[in-house]
Amino acid sequence: MRIDSNELSNHLKKQLLAVSVIHGIEPLLAQESLDLIIHSAKSKGYSVRETYVADTGFDWVSFRANCQSQSLFASQKIIDLRIPSGKPGLSGAEVLAEISLSPPPDTIVVISLPKIDYRTQQSKWFDALQKNGLLIQCNLIERPQLAQWITLRFEQQGQRITPDSAEFIANQVEGNLLAAHQEIQKLRLLFPEGPVLDADIENAIVDVSRFQVFDLMPALYKRDLIQFERILYGLKAEAEALPLILWALNEETHLLEKTLELKNKGVRFSDIARQLYLKPLHNKFFPSLIEYCSAELGMKLIHELHHIDQMIKGIKHGDPWHAIANWGLLFVRGFKKT
């Protein structure tokens, strides 16, 4: 069965197939599709998730055995298989065809592929997956359709914008879906549900001072605590929204934690960078950071961000600005000098 990524949410409400294949050129849509399937599987009791990256030298024999084995921790599990090259080779092709015809018991298998060329789509293994599983296409959102896509995303988060605003955002991001997603998320934090004025959107996107929010983590990556605090208290003076600041810190910290998790599973950094779509900034600093970061530190950083969120919401007492400054200190002290 073949569907577009925008049909996946409704499809999962009806059924969750044992084997799903995600492929296409849009990394944002691919990641969102994977997240939807994982969430659906976990809601149905598939609590254990095993991630595999099939790069050069991948052991397909062991992978097949792991698929068939029962988890020690739960009766139902999720196999998250990623093939960055889109080429499983002869051994991999045999295993994938076998999985499509006879899925492992009590297991959900999700296979992530890049954009697949015509020749690969005619292969026996791909045809078997398509016929026996669910094929999710993450097609390129062309520029003429981008404004409509932006409008729908705002509606999904309870906000309404005008066609002029949708076109304005599309022009600002120059067709980059990830950049559009970031702007939409930012505006969700800045404005309440309901209609959002054209002027408010233009000011929020064009105002350069707002982009300093995304300079906070780079300062910490450089271990420059003075620069971090200068940016932070500059944002406070400009009455920048605390939820937006916390969101930016949280996004980067979770990305660092995911990178560390894959590194601890033995995945090479070059494969991690492709899998997580890391930016040049991350490619520059993450290799050294993950060498000095423990899983305990990553969890503590995320835990502290949760406490700050409760301060912002008034659930807990404390000054969130001061707490964020202390969080930056915790981050810097947590890493040895590299």
pLDDT digits (tens, 9 = 90+) for 290-314: 887 777 888 899 999 999 999 998 8
Please give the Cα distance from 295 to 83 (Å, whole number).
26
* Same-domain pairing of 148 and 134: no
* Same-domain pairing of 151 and 259: no
pLDDT of residue 197: 94
* Same-domain pairing of 227 and 195: no
CATH of the domain at 9: 3.40.50.300
Strands 48-53, 19-24: pairing is: unpaired
pLDDT of residue 35: 93
Alpha-helical regions (H) of the chain: 8-14, 27-43, 60-68, 89-101, 118-121, 124-132, 143-156, 163-173, 177-190, 198-206, 216-221, 225-237, 242-264, 269-276, 280-289, 295-312, 320-334
* Same-domain pairing of 131 and 30: yes
* Same-domain pairing of 191 and 264: no
Question: Are 168 and 151 in contact, with CB atoms under 8 Å apart?
Answer: no
* Same-domain pairing of 252 and 239: yes
CATH of the domain at 319: 1.20.272.10
* Same-domain pairing of 107 and 171: no
Question: Are 244 and 189 in contact, with CB atoms under 8 Å apart?
Answer: yes
Condensed to tens digits (0 to 9), the pLDDT of residues 221-234 reads 998 898 898 888 87
The last residue of one of the domains, among 206, 237, 254, is 206
Domain containing residue 224: 214-334
Question: Are 137 and 3 in contact, with CB atoms under 8 Å apart?
Answer: yes
* Same-domain pairing of 152 and 235: no
pLDDT of residue 206: 64
Question: In 3D, which of 152, 101, 139 has the Cα closest to residue 22?
Answer: 139
* Same-domain pairing of 171 and 220: no
Domains held by the chain: number = 3
Give the count of beta carbons closer than 10 Å to the beta carbon of residue 281.
13
* Same-domain pairing of 187 and 307: no
The number of residues in the chain equals 338
The last residue of one of the domains, among 82, 107, 138, is 138
pLDDT of residue 72: 60
Tokens representing 210 are 């707002």
Estimate to the nearest angstrom the gap between the alpha carbon of 57 and the chain centroid. 26
pLDDT of residue 67: 87
Give the count of beta carbons closer than 10 Å to the beta carbon of residue 269.
15
Count Cα atoms within 13 angstroms, Cβ side, for 188.
16
CATH of the domain at 190: 1.10.8.60
Please give the Cα distance from 41 to 35 (Å, whole number).
10
* Same-domain pairing of 260 and 283: yes
Strands 77-82, 107-113: pairing is: parallel
Estimate to the nearest angstrom the gap between the alpha carbon of 208 and the chain centroid. 25
* Same-domain pairing of 73 and 40: yes
Please give the Cα distance from 301 to 330 (Å, whole number).
8
The last residue of one of the domains, among 206, 224, 258, is 206
Tell me which residues of the chain have a pLDDT lower than 70: 71-74, 206-211, 238, 336-338
Residue 84 vs residues 22, 119, 276: alpha-carbon distances, Å: 12, 17, 11
